[in-house]
Amino acid sequence: MKIRNMNEVNIKGQRVLIRCDLNVPIQNGIIQSDARILASLPTIELALRKKAKVIVMSHLGQPKNECYEKKYSLFPIFEYLKKKINYTKVYFSNDYSNIIPIKPGEMLVLENVRFNSGELKNDPVLSKKYSNLCDIFIMDAFGSAHRKQASTYGIGKFVNIACAGLLLISEITMLKKALKNPQRPMVSIVGGSKVSTKFNVLKKLSNISDTLIVGGGIANTFLAIDYNIGKSLHEPEFILKAKKLRDNYKNIVIPIDSRIGKNFSNIEPSIIRLPSNIKKNEEIMDFGDETIKKIVKIISKAKTIIWNGPVGVFEFPNFRKGTEKIAKAIANNSEFSIAGGGDTLSVIDMFCIKNKISYISTGGGAFLEFIEGKKLPAIDMLEKNFSQQILNNIFN
C-alpha cells in the first residue's frame, strides 16, 4: 500500500504538525549529540520554505507518570532550533490546549509529548486534541515509528491528511535497498547485550546475509553453547535457541578469541584468551585479535553492510579495540553500508566516521523491527490515512 510524501501535498499557509524524533542526550541543559535534530531539519526547513505554519512536537526521555520533569523538557532543543533557524520566528509552548497563533513561515515547538496524559497509551481523546492543532500531519519520527502512541499513531485516525516527512521516506528507502536486493556479499554485524531482544532480527539476517557477525553479550550466549564462559554477560535461557540458530545457519561468525577481565571497570586491564580457557572469575568484554583480523577481512570484501551495535564494552579503553577496528573497517569499505541504533551512533561519533557510512539510521527499535520484517505502526497509520482519503474522494 502507498503512503503520501509531504512533497505531494500543498502545505502553503496550512497548519502543519510535524512529529519529529528530537530525543537527544541532554546533560545539565546542554545537548550532547545533535544528530537526530540535524536529521529532522530538512523536513522542518522544507515546510518553512513552503510557507506552512509549522508546529513541531517530539518526545524526550521517559518522564515518570506523564508528569513534567525539567530534565526532560524540550526547551533546550527549542533554544537550539531558534539559533539554527534564525531566519524566522521560532516560539515555544507548553500548553497544547492554547497554542500561540503563528504566521506562514514561522515555527512553534511544543513541549515533550510524554508530559501529556494518554500519550503512551494511544488515548483517542489526546489523539483528537493533537489533530485539532493542524490541517496536515507529517510523521517524520522514524525512531518512534514502531510505537503505537497518540502522537505517532493515534492522531492518524482523526486528521484529514497524514503524510511522511523527508527523513521517514529516506529511512524506508535505504532500509529497503539493504534488505530487498542487496549487492553481495552481504555482511551483517549485530552487537549488544541480549539475544532475547534481537533473536528474530538475528534469524532474519541469518537467512538473508552471506555472513552474520555477532558480538557483545549476544556472542557470549553463542559461546556458552560449547564453553564455560565464567561470569560473562549472557542469557542461559537462550542458549538452546542460539544453538538451533547456529546449527541451522552456517554463516554465523562467533568469536574465536576474546578480551577478558576480572572486574567490570574503566581501568581493568585486558587479557586475550581462547573461549576454552576462560576462568570462572573472568568475563568477556571484547573480541580478541584473531577474531578482529578474521572479521575485518570479511568486511573488506562486503558489498552491503548492515551494522547494529558495538561488539564489546567500547566505553572502556582496554575493551574498545574490537568495536573500533570493526567500525573503521566498515568506514574503509567504499560499498553500501547502513548503521543504526543508539550505541552504534555513539561509536560512529567516537571514531569520527560519520561521513564514511553510506546511511546512518536514526532508529533503534524501529530499525530492528523494520529489518525483522514487521510493519511499523506509523507506516500502517499513513497507509490507512491515504486509503481513507481515496475513499473520501470517490464518495464525496
Q: Are residues 230 and 266 in the same domain?
A: yes
Distance CA 36, CA 32 (A): 11
Q: Are residues 11 and 159 in the same domain?
A: yes
Decide if 50 is catalytic: no
Model confidence band, residue 395 (pLDDT cutoffs 50, 70, 90): low
Q: Is residue 281 part of a domain?
A: yes
**pLDDT above 90 (res 1):** no
Decide if 194 is catalytic: yes
**pLDDT above 80 (res 334):** yes
Instruction: Please tell me whether 198 is known to bind a ligand.
Output: yes
Decide if 192 is catalytic: no
Task: Average the pLDDT over 188-214 and give the result.
Answer: 93
> pLDDT digits over 85-143, tens only?
999 999 999 999 888 899 999 999 999 999 999 999 999 999 999 999 999 999 999 99
CA terminus-to-terminus distance, the chain? 22
CATH number at residue 306: 3.40.50.1260
Q: Are residues 192 and 121 in the same domain?
A: no
Instruction: Please tell me whether 342 is known to bind a ligand.
Output: yes
Q: What ranges in the chain are assigned the alpha helix state H?
A: 35-49, 75-84, 124-131, 166-179, 199-208, 216-223, 239-248, 289-300, 321-332, 342-350, 365-372, 377-395
Q: What is the mean pLDDT of the chain?
A: 95
Contact (Cβ atoms closer than 8 angstroms) between residue 368 and residue 201: yes
Instruction: Please tell me whether 341 is known to bind a ligand.
Output: yes
Domain boundary pick from 334, 361, 385: 334
Q: Is residue 100 part of a domain?
A: yes
What total of structural domains would you count in the chain? Answer: 2
Q: Are residues 269 and 143 in the same domain?
A: no
> pLDDT digits over 4-61, tens only?
999 999 999 999 999 999 999 998 889 988 989 999 999 999 999 999 999 999 999 9
The DSSP 8-state label assigned to residue 99 in this structure reads P
Q: Are residues 147 and 274 in the same domain?
A: no
Q: Are residues 280 and 219 in the same domain?
A: yes
* Cell numbers 586475550: residue: 272
Q: Are residues 281 and 304 in the same domain?
A: yes
Type of residue numbered 182:
P
Task: Average the pLDDT over 235-240 and give the result.
Answer: 95
Q: Is residue 329 part of a domain?
A: yes
Domain boundary pick from 315, 334, 353: 334
pLDDT of residue 29: 86
pLDDT of residue 332: 97
Q: Is residue 354 part of a domain?
A: no
Q: Are residues 70 and 206 in the same domain?
A: no
Q: Are residues 78 and 155 in the same domain?
A: yes
Strand pairing category for 211-214 and 186-190: parallel
Decide if 49 is catalytic: no
**pLDDT above 70 (res 396):** no
167 to 19, 48, 142, 354, 364: CA distances (angstroms):
11, 16, 7, 17, 15
**pLDDT above 80 (res 342):** no
Q: Is residue 259 part of a domain?
A: yes
Among 4, 15, 19, 36, the one annotated catalytic: 36
Type of residue numbered 103:
K
* Domain of residue 314, residue span: 184-334
CA proximity to 329, closest of 305, 303, 300: 300
Contact (Cβ atoms closer than 8 angstroms) between residue 347 and residue 360: no
Contact (Cβ atoms closer than 8 angstroms) between residue 131 and residue 137: yes
